[in-house]
Amino acid sequence: MKPVAIIGAGITGLTAAFYLKRKGIPVTVYEAGGRVGGVIQSLRQDGYLAEFGPNTILETSPKIAQLVRDAGLETRRLNPDPKAEARYVVRYKRPMAMPGSPLGFFTTKLFTAKAKLAVLREPFVPRRRDGVEESIAQFVVRRLNQEFLDQAIDALVAGIYAGDPHRLSLTHAFPKLKALEDNYGSLIKGQIFGAGARKRSGEVAKDHAPKFSFDEGLQVLPDTLAARLGDAVRLNTPVTKLTQTAAGWTLTLSEGRVPRAPLTAGEVGDSQRSSLRETRVEHSAVIYCGTAFRLAELKVMCGRAALPRSLEMGAAQQHRPTEDKELEPLDLSPFSEIRHPPVASVVLGFRREDVAHPCEGFGMLIPKIEGFKILGTIFSSSLFPNRAPTGHLTLTSYIGGERYPELALLPAEKLVALVCEDLRVLLGVTGKTTFEHCVLYPKAIPQYNVGYGRYRELMNKIENKVAGLFFAGHYRDGVSLGDTIVSGVNIVERVEKSLTAK
């Protein structure tokens, strides 16, 4: 059997390759850049451990824990410090702990009496039945009130998507919230009466899911998977073209092209290029696990009979072998419309005595209405041990997103100055930094905005009509690290069925 080609050596592609190989299916992973892991990147320097992308994995599915076991990483898994459970939301220019119980909610000063009454009223708000796709902002205001949107949901959206609640789709960005209303008529009723169904499925809501990392950061996971795959991972090897054949797919590779991503904060530009050498290789199937904006640039030639010409095409047609003369280009340009705002990660170290706040918690999220520049800050060294030298703290802050995209593009020294100014007010930070590292993601998180369903519909129709081409990753199945792992696990079964049928 010719190997399955996997484009992209982020966590989704590595997970899919790992499990396909365990099933005895040969694979080759093509990565355009010079390292594995995608946005996962851990740096050990001067006694600090900095995470540039995600800081933790949420164990929302048993498939995530199974991957850790199968990869042999249980002994290197780190659970967070029990004292780090507190989460803060900024209000009145200071971080306030999120309540952890119904009683705590009704006694907290984070929300006014009017907001608390809105929660009591929520079970009696009728569900929406007209089929109109709502933004998360419209949903929250309808079921709760404006205060919840401004003081809580806006901060939550910034923390997950770096997005705009007035644009993000309830259906696609927060499908479980929509399901609570659809199935139970209420968020409160859904939390109470849906507990049994969640327990039977083994799935855990993100706000209750266990968090974890590894002894040397999240980079341990992709590095371990890549080591298990060995020579099956080919770095610095972009795929520029896919051509469907009667037996599968021919990939055109452009070896020697070395992109640099993410960029150091302050840099703006595309990939650096060296000399190119094109080669062609044969594969039985292709799984695209890269980014949506790179997908839009990929040239794909497939059989005319299987070619989706619009988003309104009908049911899948019977696959049949193709000859070169029957090939036509597959238009993937619609995926270029998916928004990816820039985000800068700013990791700073401070002496413990120079930070007034105890920072014993996960971190703080910041609503736009509070007037700060940063989207939020993770108390990295409070979460896990050995993230900072003794007597020091590591704080990881994020700037940009849909809220202030222009700020993410500032030079590193200006980013550090902005973060320090906000942390001075919010956490009582004084003194100089003892560690600084900034990383820019020019196109960071795909925005599941209202209307995102048309992209998922297009992917479904392509998969149904173009034999042996599959899609997985954060542009398809959810943007969290846990979502992307589960996406990589789930795609394996579909590919295996396709190869067996073939």
Q: Residue 89 domain-assigned?
A: no
**Residue pLDDT, tens place only, 59-97:** 999 999 999 999 999 999 999 988 778 899 999 999 999
- Write down the pLDDT at residue 315: 36
- Write down the pLDDT at residue 321: 43
**Domain end residue (candidates: 162, 177, 206):** 206
Q: What is the mean pLDDT of residues 196-210?
A: 69
> Do residues 330 and 454 both lie within one domain?
yes
Q: SS in 3 state form for 54-86? A: CCCEECCCHHHHHHHHHCCCHHHEECCCHHHHC
Q: Are 345 and 400 in contact (CB under 8 A)?
A: no
- Write down the pLDDT at residue 318: 38
157, pLDDT greater than 60:
yes
Q: Residue 87 domain-assigned?
A: no
Residue 255 pLDDT grade (very low, low, confident, very high; cuts 50, 70, 90): confident
Q: Residue 98 domain-assigned?
A: no
Residue 254 pLDDT grade (very low, low, confident, very high; cuts 50, 70, 90): confident
Q: Are 408 and 344 in contact (CB under 8 A)?
A: yes
Better-predicted residue by pLDDT, 502 or 309:
502
Q: Residue 92 domain-assigned?
A: no
273, pLDDT greater than 90:
no
**Residue pLDDT, tens place only, 340-368:** 999 999 999 999 999 999 999 999 999 99
Q: Residue 100 domain-assigned?
A: no
**Residue pLDDT, tens place only, 464-484:** 999 999 999 999 999 999 999
Non-local CB neighbours of 320 within 8 Å, separated by 6+ positions? 303, 305, 306
My answer on whether omega of the bond before 259 falls inside 30° of 0, hence cis, is no
CATH at 61: 3.90.660.20
Task: Supply φ then ψ for residue 99, to 5 degrees.
Answer: -65, 145
Q: SS in 3 state form for 439-463? A: EEECCCCCCCECCCHHHHHHHHHHH
> Do residues 454 and 423 both lie within one domain?
no
- Write down the pLDDT at residue 205: 66
Residue 311 pLDDT grade (very low, low, confident, very high; cuts 50, 70, 90): very low
Q: Lowest mean pLDDT of 167-171, 233-237, 324-328, 435-439, name the range.
A: 324-328
Structure tokens at 125: 């708000």
- Write down the pLDDT at residue 206: 65
Better-predicted residue by pLDDT, 197 or 151:
151
> Do residues 225 and 333 both lie within one domain?
yes
CATH at 125: 1.10.3110.10
- Write down the pLDDT at residue 202: 64
Q: Residue 405 domain-assigned?
A: yes
- Write down the pLDDT at residue 163: 97
> Do residues 279 and 399 both lie within one domain?
no
Biggest alpha carbon–alpha carbon distance for the chain: 72
- Write down the pLDDT at residue 272: 45
> Do residues 386 and 479 both lie within one domain?
no
Residue 207 pLDDT grade (very low, low, confident, very high; cuts 50, 70, 90): low
- Write down the pLDDT at residue 129: 86
CATH at 457: 3.50.50.60
312, pLDDT greater than 80:
no
Q: Residue 202 domain-assigned?
A: yes
Highest mean pLDDT out of 133-137, 263-267, 300-304, 318-322:
133-137
- For 273, the 3-state DSSP assignment is coil
> Do residues 240 and 385 both lie within one domain?
no
- Write down the pLDDT at residue 81: 86
> Do residues 19 and 128 both lie within one domain?
no
- Write down the pLDDT at residue 49: 96
Residue 295: closest CA among 136, 132, 92, 476: 476
Better-predicted residue by pLDDT, 321 or 172:
172
Q: Residue 270 carries which DSSP code?
A: -
309, pLDDT greater than 70:
no
**Domain end residue (candidates: 422, 441, 460):** 441
> Do residues 260 and 361 both lie within one domain?
no
Q: What is the mean pLDDT of the chain?
A: 90
Indicate the residue type of 172: H
Structure tokens at 87: 């989460």
**Residue pLDDT, tens place only, 485-497:** 999 999 999 999 9
> Do residues 122 and 144 both lie within one domain?
yes
- How many domains would you assign to the chain? 3
Report d(CA 28, CA 17) in Å as an integer: 8
Angle formed by the axes of helices 175-184 and 136-143, to 10°? 40
**Domain end residue (candidates: 409, 441, 473):** 441
> Do residues 224 and 325 both lie within one domain?
yes
The torsion of the CA quartet 59, 61, 63, 65, rounded to 10 degrees, works out to 30
Q: Scanning the structure block, which residue is given the tokens 């998507």?
A: 161
> Do residues 281 and 406 both lie within one domain?
no
Residue 286: closest CA among 476, 462, 39: 462
**Residue pLDDT, tens place only, 361-394:** 999 999 999 999 999 999 999 999 999 999 999 9
> Do residues 334 and 344 both lie within one domain?
no
192, pLDDT greater than 80:
yes
Cα distances (angstroms) measured from residue 167 to each of 306, 341, 453 = 34, 13, 13
Q: What is the mean pLDDT of residues 16-31?
A: 97
Better-predicted residue by pLDDT, 312 or 186:
186
Q: Residue 93 domain-assigned?
A: no
Range of the domain at 46: 42-82+340-441
